[in-house]
Structure 1
Amino acid sequence: MAIALVTAAVFPKTPPGAKVFRSTAARFFGWAWMVFAAINLVDILWRGRDAASLVAAMVMLLGCGVAYVGALRPRIVADEEGVRLHNLLRDVEVPWRGVERVEGGDAVYVHGGGRRFRAFVLQISPRNRARFEAKARRQERKLPDHVADYVQGRTQTDFAVEQLRELAGERSRRGEDGGTEPTVTWAWPAVLAVAVPAVAFLVALVIALL
């Protein structure tokens, strides 16, 4: 059941023409865990016959849920209607007419309805930003001047913020009708992807200890 929930939620329907911002590194590690867990689950199903094997299987499933929620699910989607922040367990949707501003820094922030919403994806710590900028300065001399000026010190977060600002500006100039209030909703597939294997793990652990 947990595997089905995870599999169904990993491939969300994205509107045609939408821009999607993800973390390539996070997705790599997320899928790496999925493959690792699948191999171990097959081995457990093939050879495991005791309570310890049941606990190990539940740990693998719980890890899949965490990998999906923390690595595969987080993304920013910008389409014709607005910008959506798909975070760990909740989704934030801000219509373009309601976007007050988009900020960067250590993460992507979207302001709307007098509130500030932070995207979980594309976060960067001050230490990593400093390391990135130092590396960019070392590589600057290898690039043409016009390219170096454009990419110097810019992270994935900075590029995402720049594109979102451009999209927000284009949509606001169109003067399209629509709502302005942001909405925050629970992502129940993500909640269940973690909750179901977590409960199953606790049940298996109790069985193993009895």
Structure 2
Amino acid sequence: MTAAVFPKTPPGAKVFRSSAARFFGWAWMVFAAANLADIIWRGHDAASVVAATVMLLGCGVAYVGALRPRIVADEEGVRLHNLLRDVEVPWRGVERLEGGDAVYVHAGGRRFRAFVLQISPRNRARFEAKARRQERKLPDHVADHVQGRTHTDYAVEQLREMAGQRSRGAKDGATEPTVTWAWPAVVAVAAPAAAFVIALLIALL
């Protein structure tokens, strides 16, 4: 499973995120830091400034696309931290949790898709074929439980369990979903992108 419970979450809360995406995100950060150090040490021209802004833009993209996306479920509800926006749904407002190619939360007559833990139809078919081969090596009661389940399915199962427990205990409170812009993520991409355009124009003039 690439859906992992983050160890620093509050008691009773769970965070689902992609371990593979985080690995590649941090790998880019290390690569960019090494290149920026080299640019600062050796670069003294306009091309070096352009290269530095490219590295910074890559860091912004890595943060937004690999390090930031996650699903957080706690006592209050479930939050989808996507690329540039956050979706927060109180447990009483969750109408349905759906799996498949991604994690979907139905609330307020709308369907919200989580960016993290997505799986393409081709990869899902490949996973299910591999699971069927492995089932022959497992006891029947174990095979029935894991049959065809992807990391997306496991996350949905845990979220459904939490939703059932929390919604029964909550008798009042908000029910409508809230969608907000994640301004730190917007700035993380927009600022270096603007710097890159300015540096490129200066280099070309």
Q: Normalising by structure 2, report the TM-score.
A: 0.93
1:179 is matched with 174
1:147 is matched with 142
Which of 119, 127, 132 aligns to 1:124? It is 119
Whole-Å Cα distance in 2 between the matches of residues 137 and 53 of structure 1? 53
Whole-Å Cα distance in 2 between the matches of residues 14 and 40 of structure 1? 33
- Structure 1 position 176, deviation (Å): 3.3
- Structure 1 position 173, deviation (Å): 1.6
Distance 1:118 1:208, change over 3 A: same
- Structure 1 position 137, deviation (Å): 1.5
- Structure 1 position 147, deviation (Å): 2.1
1:94 is matched with 89
- Structure 1 position 151, deviation (Å): 1.4
1:204 is matched with 199
- Structure 1 position 175, deviation (Å): 3.3
Which of 67, 72, 78 aligns to 2:67? It is 72
Percent identity of equivalent pairs: 88
- 1:206 is aligned with what amino acid? L
Q: Deviations over 1:126-161 (max 9, x none)?
A: 000001111112222233332222112111100011
Matches within 5 A, 1:1-210: 14-210=9-205
Whole-Å Cα distance in 2 between the matches of residues 42 and 144 of structure 1? 54
Q: Deviations over 1:161-192 (max 9, x none)?
A: 11111111111221332100000000000000
Whole-Å Cα distance in 1 between the matches of residues 137 and 26 of structure 2? 34
SS in 2 for 1:142: coil
SS in 2 for 1:179: coil
Q: Structure 2: where are the runs of 5+ without partners? A: 1-7
- Structure 1 position 14, deviation (Å): 4.8
Q: Name which of structure 1's ranges 139-148 and 87-96 shifts more when overlaid on structure 2.
A: 139-148
- 2:156 is aligned with what amino acid? V
1:10 is matched with none
SS in 2 for 1:168: helix
Whole-Å Cα distance in 2 between the matches of residues 162 and 61 of structure 1? 38
Q: Name which of structure 1's ranges 95-104 and 175-184 shifts more when overlaid on structure 2.
A: 175-184
The alignment yields a C-alpha RMSD, in angstroms, of 1.2
